[in-house]
Amino acid sequence: MLSFLERNFYKCSSSVKEQCFNALVRPILEYGATAWDPYRDYQVKKLENVNKRAARFVTGNHNRVHGETEKNMRTLGWPPLSERRARQKLIMLNKITSNQIDIPRDDLKICSSRRFPLNYHLPSSSLDCHLHSFFPSTIRLWNSIPYVTQTSAISAAGFKRAMNDITIKSTY
């Protein structure tokens, strides 16, 4: 799809190229991202390479010099796809815990400590496929975000606004 856009929209303005990317390519890259969030390096790199290529296409800066890709991403205001997936997973967990989505949450247990009152107990995992599945990986992300952001989870809109104020590192 990105190759199609590059062939047919190369003369268009950056805003048109970005709209085309957001409408036709990004949904493919992020489809089912809350359920299937790749954790293997080669999978993450494949997705990020498409995003970087799209940034070069949109900005028209095709230089392959060190630092140019980050410059393109900053110019466009695009966070890495891994960060976007992490945000979506946290928003999904917030919706599950606030009963906005009917997904069983029997295994979610808050481990109440004075220092971390809203952190969830991490389920034990002996298999990689479970360790990196939705609940364990999202609970690790949830427990890593600041308490102020966790407390803003009362409303979905407030939580999304609070998420914009932090940088999420999705290393797990």
For residue 171, what pLDDT is reported?
Answer: 45
For residue 113, what pLDDT is reported?
Answer: 67
| The length of the chain, given as a count of residues | 172
Please state the rounded mean pLDDT for residues 14-18: 96
pLDDT digits 0-9 by tens, 65-77: 888 988 999 999 9
Buried b or exposed e, range 133-152, using 16+ CB within 10 angstroms: bbbbbbbbbbebbeeebbeb
Please state the rounded mean pLDDT for residues 10-26: 95
pLDDT digits 0-9 by tens, 112-167: 666 667 788 788 878 877 788 888 888 888 888 888 788 776 777 788 888 887 87
Domain boundaries, the chain: 2-78, 83-164
